[in-house]
Amino acid sequence: MDEIKLLDASDTALRTLRRSGWIIKSPYFTAAGEPVFIAVRPTTGAPQRVIATVR
């Protein structure tokens, strides 16, 4: 599974992915407390982990 790292963990970044056709699943959290979302790529249907890093 590929990873996408977002430097901006805001709703705006996730909304941008959704507008592009990505399907965003509910988040889970890493041991470090980072939220990780599973995003499904619109063209291939392949899942990717989206790691949203708060800065």
Of 17, 18, 5, the C-alpha closest to 50 is 5
Environment class of 37 (CB within 10 Å of its CB; exposed 0-12, middle 13-18, buried 19+): buried
Q: Which domains are delineated in the chain?
A: 2-52 (3.10.180.10)
Supply the pTM of this predicted model. Answer: 0.51
Q: What is the pLDDT of residues 2-54, one digit of tens each?
A: 666 665 556 677 788 788 888 877 777 878 877 777 777 777 777 777 766 54
Q: How far is 4 from 53, CA to CA, in rounded Å?
A: 11
What is the predicted pLDDT for the residue at 3? 62
